[in-house]
Chain A
Amino acid sequence: TQLLEQSPQFLSIQEGENLTVYCNSSSVFSSLQWYRQEPGEGPVLLVTVVTGGEVKKLKRLTFQFGDARKDSSLHITAAQPGDTGLYLCASTDNDYKLSFGAGTTVTVRA
């Protein structure tokens, strides 16, 4: 089972600021996903990255996959209160087991 480390554990910022959260592993990801989970809801898939060095953008969210496919980052530009939530990275092994990191709790203050 691949161990995913996410940092920071908590992040609190003011509306309009930027933020970056990280996901790292000691082994290579076959693919990596980012999810966002709001209180009382299940996680919702934001993006899947597969190729080393890949960059994907989703409105104000930018996802990067490290060249060695061992790390990934999620950058939010001009954060809004609606971005508040638990951000989770997840990976699959060769057996399609979907494993999650512990998550980063992001709070955006109005």
Chain B
Amino acid sequence: EAGVVQSPRYKIIEKKQPVAFWCNPISGHNTLYWYRQNLGQGPELLIRYENEEAVDDSQLPKDRFSAERLKGVDSTLKIQPAELGDSAVYLCASSLESGTGPEAFFGQGTRLTVV
């Protein structure tokens, strides 16, 4: 079974430019997460979807970040315009609910460098 697929793996852009990341979750996983991770730190949640509904976007900087999950499957995360401080790894994860809570499967991430 294929895991969570993210693209691109790496992206270098100039500040003020737009950028988009794509995520294909594991088939049948209703929950999808976008996290941002700085070097040597734990992932920080940006947004969580249940099917196509964003149920938690409280940590998403909505002035420049947007996300969508059409048809409750693939998802895209966009930044416009990018700032130097947005440089980080952007991780997508998906999960099924279990009796003990979500067990998340992560993609390899997209490493964004803003110059």
Cα-based distance from A33 to B108 in the complex (angstroms): 19
B101 in contact with A48 (CB, 8 Å):
yes
**Complex contacts, B31 vs chain A, CB 8 Å:** 96
Given contacts A42-B91, A96-B97, A96-B101, contact A101 B42 (CB under 8 A): yes
Q: Which residue of A lies closest to B104 (CB)?
A: A98
> A98 — which chain B residues lie within 8 A by C-beta?
33, 45, 48, 93, 95, 101-102, 104
> Would you call A73 an interface residue if the criterion is a C-beta within 8 Å of the partner chain's C-beta atoms?
no
Contact of A92 among B40, B44, B101, B105 (CB under 8 A): B101
Q: Does B43 contact A (CB under 8 A)?
A: yes
Summarize B's interface: helix, strand, loop or mixed.
strand
Q: Does B25 contact A (CB under 8 A)?
A: no
- Known contacts A40-B108, A42-B107, A42-B108: A100-B42 contact under CB 8 Å: yes
In the complex, A11 has a CB within 8 A of chain B: no
The interface size of chain A toward B, counting residues with CB under 8 Å, comes to 27
* Contact with A42, one of B45, B56, B93, B103 (Cβ below 8 angstroms): B93
Asked if A80 lies at the interface with its beta carbon under 8 angstroms from chain B, I say no
- A44: B residues at CB distance < 8 A: 106
Whole-angstrom CA separation of A6 from B43 in the bound complex: 13
A50 CB within 8 Å of chain B: yes
Complex contact B42–A50 (CB within 8 A):
no
Tell me which residues across on chain B come within 8 A of A30, comparing CB atoms: 101
CB distance from B52 to the nearest CB of A (A): 17
Roughly how many angstroms separate A4 CA and B69 CA in the complex, as a whole number?
29
Q: Which residues of A contact B40 (CB under 8 A)?
A: 86, 103, 105
Q: Mark B30-45, 1 if CB is under 8 A from A, else 0.
A: 0101010000111111
- Residues in chain A near residue B41, CB distance under 8 A: 102-103
Please name the 10 residue pairs, one residue from A and one from B, whose CB atoms are nearest each other, closest first.
A42-B106, A100-B42, A92-B101, A31-B101, A31-B100, A50-B100, A103-B42, A102-B42, A100-B43, A48-B100
